[in-house]
Structure 1
Amino acid sequence: MTGNQITAITELDRSHYKTKVYSGGHFIYSDEPEDLGGTDEGMAPAALLLASLGSCTAITIRMYADRKNLKLDHIKIELAICKEEEMNKETTISRKIIFTGDLTEDERKRLLVIADKCPIHKILSNPIKIETS
């Protein structure tokens, strides 16, 4: 992997299925719920995917709002995706964005357009090729 890439390392020992995730000096756990054999000590992988989209969306909106001096006090993003067994090539992620602050209707509409500019949204909206070695 080259220096200009975003990287992550995951490690899983004999724990069922608590996985260590490292990136950029940070550390979290991913896991599965107990009913799937995990210990439920971390977010499920699909939840991490949603968290990536939600946090990237919020950060992108905040950057824009700050640059434009908008009176945006709070951003809440609710995300959902179907269960793994229901996924196919047309899987849909639903994303509801709620703004709190003294914003005009035009500003709210513009922030929704800006939401689609987040890098993770762009990645997920295009075909993804995964190369495994």
Structure 2
Amino acid sequence: MAASKITAITELDQSHYKTKIYSNGHFIYADEPEEVGGTDEGMAPGALLLASLGSCTAITIRMYADRKKMNLDTIKVELAICNEEEMSKETTITRKITFTGDLSQQDHDRLMQIADKCPIHKILSNPIKIETSI
């Protein structure tokens, strides 16, 4: 059986920039800061992108560490990207990963390699094609 697609639906009404996002029975808001006309009631789209990469990175590392029975207590992923106005095909996302737990240098090095195996990292590291229809 083929895996089902990941889907999301976004809706924006007259609420300026506060956008409703639905996916697989879950709901969140995206928004813009007040200084650009939003209500600041949700994360900005760029922050949601970073959140996707950070959470995918942490989950991928956790899955591997659990499978290998590593003594990994916590994973912290700190991310940054330039302002949306400055984004281009050369845009760089910086990512700092910190682990706590009783890990050897070999464990630490392997977990850093595993970080790049997360599906969102793979997507963002390759050309992305977006097909739009009405």
Query: Structures share a fold, TM > 0.5?
Result: yes
3-state SS in 2 of match to 1:61: helix
What is aligned with 2:27? 27
CA distance in structure 1 between the partners assigned to 2:102 and 2:76 by the alignment: 15
1:107 aligns with 2:107: yes
What is aligned with 2:57? 57
Aligned pairs for 1:29-108 within 5 A? 29-108=29-108
> How many residue pairs are counted as aligned between the two chains?
132
Offset of 1:127 from its aligned partner? 0.3
Offset of 1:26 from its aligned partner? 0.2
Gaps of 5+ in 1: none
Normalised TM-score (structure 2): 0.96
CA distance in structure 1 between the partners assigned to 2:47 and 2:16 by the alignment: 18
Q: Deviation per CA, 1:34-83: give whole Å up to 9, x if none.
A: 00100000000000000000000000000000000000000000000001
CA distance in structure 2 between the partners assigned to 1:85 and 1:17 by the alignment: 17
CA distance in structure 2 between the partners assigned to 1:100 and 1:28 by the alignment: 30
Tell me the amino acid that sits aligned with residue 46 of structure 1.
Answer: G
CA distance in structure 2 between the partners assigned to 1:16 and 1:103 by the alignment: 48
Gaps of 5+ in 2: none
- Structure 1 segments, 4+ long, off by >6 Å, are none
CA distance in structure 2 between the partners assigned to 1:90 and 1:5 by the alignment: 29
CA distance in structure 1 between the partners assigned to 2:58 and 2:92 by the alignment: 19
CA distance in structure 1 between the partners assigned to 2:104 and 2:86 by the alignment: 39
Q: Percent identity?
A: 79
> Over aligned residue pairs, what C-alpha RMSD do you find?
1.2
1:9 aligns with 2:9: yes
CA distance in structure 2 between the partners assigned to 1:44 and 1:29 by the alignment: 9
Offset of 1:86 from its aligned partner? 1.1
